Structure 1
Amino acid sequence: MIDHFRAAWDEILAPGTMFEMTETEVRGIPMRVFAAAPPSMRSVWELTAGYADRTYVVFEDERYTYADIDARVRALAHVLREQHGVGSGDRVAIAMRNYPEWVISYWAILATGAAAVGMNAWWTGPEMQYALGDSQPKVLIADGERVERVLPMLDELRAGAPLHLITTRHDGELPAGADRWDDVVDPSTAPDTLPEADIDPDDDATIFYTSGTTGFPKGAQLTHRGCVHNLMHIIAMGQIAGAAVQKAAEAAGEPAPDPAAQGPAGSPVIMAPTPLFHVTANNCLLHPATIGGGTIVLTYKWDPGRALELIEREKVTNFSGVPTMSRELLTHPDWSTRDTSSIAAMGGGGAPMPRDLVGKIGTSLKSGAPSTGYGLTETCGIVTGNSGATYLAKPESAGPIVPTLDAKVVDEEDREVAPGEPGRLLVRGPIVIKGYLNKPEATAESIRDGWFDTGDIARLDEDGFVYIVDRAKDMVLRGGENVYCSEVEAAIYELDGIAEVAVFGVPDERLGEEVAAAVVLAPGTDMDADGLRAALKDRIANHKIPAHVWFLDEQLPRNANGKFVKRELRDRLVAEMA
């Protein structure tokens, strides 16, 4: 199968194809780029003009065509430009659930040349305040839940710079300098065209916050070029996987498999069960659905039963979430009674896909196959992709490196290791972020001569397929959410009576990992696990609060340098828990 994959790779990426590559300088460094890449994400949106009558966004029981969304995008883009002076170099923040307004806001912001700041909808008020203060958006577009969190600090935020508020799905009283969505976004009076904009491929398209090892999140600056190239990588990897299957069938003298079930005019119908404020749903699901004239199916919250209902109703062709979501679909009582025959691909990323789940997906889908990918916020999306028969041939691999990306595995001295040996994975290419907003030291530490240090321990096999071995970063990967241990430790240390704390991940069947903490209290302190969690509730988002807490009577174990030995501590406590 790998030989067929290589042949398909050469064919799809050959000179003269839409994925032909050339070399150019990106921020002063020579890199491979796609010769036919659109110049900006605004251009990607403009390419959808021919899809007007197709269904674009489904949210629960709401439906919007491309024409419906386009009119609202044009209306909002002009409001941002003409009423609030938003343009190139500016930022507009989006803070809401996966509502249709998220999609409208995103395209309208990018169309003006500004950067969309994706606010984590699970953040507490103080976490929102930090990101808004860091990114300094001219406008915040928020739903009712997020509005209520930001109101107490709105005056303080506005003391630094003007911040206009546009609210959606919010019935509460509005403060001064705020508008309701329906009062400013009127599709019936939208201008016929988008406002003019001057956009460079290396301008910021999106700022997505990724948890920081210092206790504060870092705003990753995703460029237009990076987002466009990630989109083209996704399309190319899909075509390569499909061509490899065709070649394998031809070599075996078998009839080629029928094309995967598709929506209208061969367009995909993609369910996005994860938040749009992450690259997984936004860059790897929304973008491909859009460029292909497909449908993006959104839900109010994750519910496998409701998801199966929508899969049947909308004839979903692609389901991509964290692995636990796929498992919950396959094991749900309704799986056997719902029509899921439209699903052509099921899988996703955000956590390693257990080997048994790869096989279970392969045998459970009537006309589809498993898929996975490895990527980061800092790479605008995928670094690797693995799907279909190739994935079944190498079920423990995250797949090969995407076409325009260079990769190397290095030791602690940054020397390349031999093939098959584990080391830190470094990547370089047009999809690597420009840097971290307002954090030049963190940028310089993570990106050197264009090479981004993923912090992940990986190995490359003889076929160039990547295997993620471990994470070098002190991080818990909980259901696709990065939780940095130092951030949680910093919050716990703010509480009275904490002498020592170590935060780490423990295995969890549903989420992959769950947050855990070992705590040593100061003499005379009385605290239990529930009390600790209650004290953290207003300090950090719920998913960061430790699900498992141990209170120890002795000092935490240390190495010769005085650092806590978390792996030893975790292994001992997990064994006791078992």
Structure 2
Amino acid sequence: MHYAELLKAREELTGPGGDFEIVEAEVLGKKLRVYKNAPPSIREFWASTKQFADRTYLIYEGERLTYAEAHEQVNAIAAWLFDQGVQPGDRVAIAMRNYPEWLLIYWACTSVGITVVGMNAWWTAEEMVYALKDSEPKALFLDAERLERVRDRPDLTGSMKMVGVRIPDLPANVTPWSEVIAHGGDMPDVTVDPDSDACIFYTSGTTGFPKGAQLTQRGCVANLMNMMYASASTALATQNATGVAPPEDPPPPVSLLTTPLFHVTANNCGAYATTAAGGAIVLMYRWDAGEALKIIEREKVSSLGGVPVMARELINHPDFEKTDTSSLAQLSGGGAQVPPDLVHKIESAISTARPATGYGMTETCGIITSVSADFFVDKPDSAGPAMPNFEVKCVDELGDTVAPGELGELWVKGSSVIKGYINRPEATAESITDGWLHTGDIARIDKDGFIFIVDRKKDMVLRGGENVYCAEVESVAYRHPAIAECSVFGVPDDRLGEEVGIAIVLKPGEKLTADEFREHCASIMAKHKVPRYVWFLADALPRNASGKFVKRDLRDRLSAELQSAGH
């Protein structure tokens, strides 16, 4: 493989005079790695896309919006907000599905230094109330489903300006979207502080109420530079190794966004990268593999990004073979580890598409690592090398750096690490030490600088003193051809502390017994890692709003069934 060429490409691109030159700068009192050529804020980035005026920008069902039309509406939204007294430093919440309006509101707010609060569209009324009281937005843009959840809470909505999006019959206290757009006007003339909050995204997967992560303008722009750098470094390394140059003037990308815009996967990674390239973003009402195949064929989609299970569902769908997917150049998975077997399935199932993944977090405004094409195929269980604006290290329980290649918790430091969590100084101090973010992931770093995520620090089964990493067991399970999806977790055990449990959904028409499955596992990995408890579920595994499997719900429900059965 071309690892020497990759290292050379990285040095060339990030060195003096390179397109992605890295320099040190003081950011909020800390010396951090930053991109010398990055736009100072999101305002300048969004303004730069005016050059794509006549191109199609947003596609949703039968609707299409050009870049020129998008800029006109973004300007109107920003001007309207200023007229309502919303100023730089204030917050505006968005609570809706992936409608085109989501992105228009986002660009309007971030272009004038107003902080976007991304509300999880799956939240109940109580969860919405918590986040709105926590973030105190001056205005709330929401669709019919979200309005229904908060309309009877005058204590909450009384002082907040509410705008209804795609709602035909509005209560008197809610402004129609059409009125905002009809306002017109120019983009207000302000200077945006690079270290101000661009958005508040609430983190999932923790106990209790979620934490509002403060993603800065600098951090979001740095993540865009990371996305662009990842593509450029892979392309340059491949060109240097093979002598084959990529097309000089490739067509604008067409990206199908499949995950919610209130998370960094769709917003900071998918939407930013496609917008920077002057491409078209296709939005879906909800994820459906069959509908996605129709969209890919109809819109000539070139890239599809989502959580790994979506790529698996696409390839396994009965209509896959009948659909023209030749426009696809990339199938990427993020938000969860891509099982190695899926990397090879993507590579073999679609001749034009290459597999890709990015490992990252809300707390890093997007990706920490990225890997694609030949490098991903060669190291399918890797998350790729760290992006150049990060320092990375693996540490032990005391926070001391472990030896190269050894397992430890991954810590990262760089210009796209969040400022902290709003109203949660203790949580901030717990997660960030002197600029180093504790990812909570167990990892190792190989000789080529590629990072391998072994598991979540707390997503691990401790069986009789032996660590069993869930991701490893899932990876082995997916090597069985009958399995469509699975999730591994710890089941409480009086003797060993925990036993390994797995919930499995089979592909249509397939049959598999628990004993046959255990034999499959035992032929590949150590006996103590083979699941003792095996559940076959008829329905798809439960997921949260970002598409990740909800292990805690599965574990609690299935463990309770065991207890009630006397196990």
Same fold (TM over 0.5): yes
Determine which of 176, 182, 193 is the counterpart of 1:180: 176
1:92 aligns with 92
Per-residue displacement from partner, 1:44-95 (whole Å, max 9, x unpaired)? 110011111100001122111011111111111111111x211211000000
Task: Give the distance between the partners of 2:322 and 2:107, measured in 1 at CA.
Answer: 38
**Aligned position for 1:290:** 275
C-alpha separation in 1, matches of 2:254 and 2:247 = 15
Does the CA contact (< 8 Å) of 1:48 and 1:291 recur in 2?
yes
Give me the whole-angstrom Cα distance separating, in 2, the residues matched to 1:86 and 1:258: 46
CA distance in 2, matches of 1:4, 1:97: 43
- Report the AA paired with residue 190 of structure 1: G
> Closer, same or farther in 2 for the Cα pair 1:473/1:437, shift >3 Å?
farther
Is 1:117 equivalent to 2:111 in the alignment? no
User: 1:81–1:87: 8 Å Cα contact kept in structure 2?
Assistant: yes
- The answer on 1:306 being equivalent to 2:291 is yes
- Aligned to 1:316, what secondary structure does the other structure show? coil
Q: Which of the numbers 193, 196, 206 marks the counterpart of 1:203?
A: 196
Deviations 1:432-478 (A, max 9, x none): 00000111111011111100000111111111111111111469999
1:260/1:344 contact within 8 Å kept: no
- Indicate the residue corresponding to 1:381 in structure 2: 366
Distance 1:449 1:410 in 2: 14
In structure 2, relative to structure 1, the CA distance for the partners of 1:543 and 1:267 (3 Å cut) is same
Change (3 A) 1:212 1:163: farther
What residue in structure 2 maps to residue 147 of structure 1? 147
Distance in 1, matches of 2:216 and 2:141, equals: 21
> How far does residue 370 in structure 1 lie from its aligned partner after superposition?
0.4
Query: What is the TM-score when the length of structure 2 is the normalising length?
Result: 0.82
Distance 1:468 1:28 in 2: 30
The yes-or-no answer on 1:170 pairing with 2:167 is yes
Whole-angstrom distance in 1 between the partners of 2:380 and 2:401 = 25
4+ residue segments displaced more than 6 Å: 475-478, 541-545, 552-555
Return the alpha-carbon distance in structure 1 between the equivalents of residues 558 and 272 of structure 2: 40
TM-score (norm 1): 0.80
Shift of 1:134: 0.2
Residue 243 of structure 1 aligns with which residue? 236
Amino acid across the alignment from 2:93: A
Amino acid aligned to 1:184: V
Aligned residues: 493
Give 1:235-384 correspondences, 5 Å limit: 235-250=228-243, 256=244, 259=247, 262=250, 266-384=251-369
- How far is 1:554 from its partner? 6.9
Pair 1:40 & 2:41 matched: yes
Are the aligned partners of 2:164 and 2:170 in contact in 1 as well (CA < 8 Å)?
A: no
Task: Give the CA deviation at 1:416.
Answer: 0.4
CA distance in structure 1 between the aligned counterparts of 2:282 and 2:379, rounded to whole angstroms: 30
CA distances 1:504-561 after superposition (whole Å, capped 9, x unpaired): 98455599xxxxxxxxxxxxxxxxxxxxxxxxxxxxx996883543437979xxxxxx
- 1:53 paired residue number: 54
Change (3 A) 1:28 1:431: same
Aligned-partner Cα distance in 2 for 1:166–1:554 = 48
In structure 2, what is the Cα distance between the partners aligned to 1:450 and 1:282?
A: 24
Asked whether the 8 Å contact 1:206–1:221 carries over to 2, the reply is yes
* 2:164 partner letter: T
2:237 is equivalent to residue 223 of structure 1: no
CA distance in 2, matches of 1:509, 1:267: 38
Partner SS for 2:151: helix
Aligned to 1:452: 437
**Paired residue secondary structure (1:38):** coil
Contact (CA 8 Å) 1:201, 1:223: kept in 2 or not? yes
Deviation string 1:222-246 (CA, Å, 9 cap, x unpaired) is: 0000000000000001011111221
Aligned equivalent of 2:80:
79
Native 8 Å contact 2:195 2:217 kept in 1: yes
2:526 counterpart residue number:
none
Q: Deviations over 1:551-577 (max 9, x none)?
A: 37979xxxxxxxxxxxxxxxx99xx9x
Per the alignment, in what secondary structure is the counterpart of residue 333 of structure 1?
coil
C-alpha distance in structure 2 between counterparts of 1:414 and 1:545, whole Å: 27
**Kept after mapping to 1: 8 A contact 2:239/2:246:** no
**1:27 maps onto 2:28 in alignment:** yes
* Displacement after TM superposition at 1:331 (Å): 1.7
For the residues of structure 1 that align with 2:48 and 2:275, how far apart are their CA atoms? 9
Work out the CA distance in 2 between the residues paired with 1:351 and 1:134: 28
C-alpha distance in structure 1 between counterparts of 2:421 and 2:209, whole Å: 12
Alignment partners' CA distance in 1, 2:111 and 2:275: 15
- Decide whether aligned partners of structure 1 residues 554 and 55 sit closer, same or farther in structure 2, where only a CA change above 3 A counts: closer
Supply the AA of the counterpart residue of 1:233: N
Q: Which of 541, 544, 549 is the matching residue for 2:558?
A: 549
Q: Letter of the aligned partner of 1:216 in structure 2?
A: F
Shift of 1:171: 2.6
State the distance in 1 between where 2:371 and 2:503 align: 24
Conserved? CA contact 2:223–2:367, under 8 Å: yes
Aligned partners of 1:261 and 1:343 also within 8 Å = no
The answer to whether structure 1 residue 461 and structure 2 residue 457 are counterparts is no
Task: Using the TM superposition, give the Cα deviation of residue 380 of structure 1 relative to its aligned residue in structure 2, in angstroms.
Answer: 0.1
Instruction: Verify: 1:400 aligned to 2:397, yes or no.
Output: no
Q: What is the deviation of 1:328?
A: 1.2
CA distance, structure 2, for counterparts of residue 271 and residue 199 of structure 1: 30
**Shift of the alpha carbon at 1:392?**
1.0
Shift of 1:365: 2.3
Residues 81 and 112, structure 1, Cα contact 8 Å, conserved in 2:
no
Matched, 1:190 2:191: no
CA contact (8 A) 1:88 1:198 kept: no
CA deviations over 1:82-133 (Å, ceiling 9, x no partner): 1x21121100000000000101111111122110000000000000000000
Q: Percent identity?
A: 49
Shift of 1:14: 2.8
Distance in 1 of aligned mates of 2:370 and 2:549: 31
Report how far residue 362 of structure 1 moved: 1.0
Contact 1:308 1:329 in 2 (8 A): yes
Go from structure 1 to structure 2 and tell me whether the alpha carbon gap of 1:214 and 1:305 turns closer, same or farther (over 3 Å shift): closer
Deviations 1:119-167 (A, max 9, x none): 00000000000000000000000011101011122x11146xx211000
1:129 is aligned to 2:129? yes
For structure 1, the residue ranges without an aligned partner over 5 or more in a row are 251-255, 486-501, 512-540, 556-571
Amino acid at match of 2:181: V
The gaps in structure 2 that reach 5 residues or longer are 461-469, 475-486, 490-497, 508-547
Contact (CA 8 Å) 1:5, 1:390: kept in 2 or not? Answer: no
- TM-fit CA distance, 1:363: 1.5
Give the superposition deviation at 1:39. Answer: 0.8
For residue 515 of structure 1, what is the aligned residue in structure 2? Answer: none
Distance 1:304 1:63, change over 3 A: same
Aligned with residue 414 of structure 2, among 429, 436, 452: 429
**DSSP-derived class of the 2:553 partner:** coil
Change in 2 beyond 3 A, CA 1:329/1:394: same
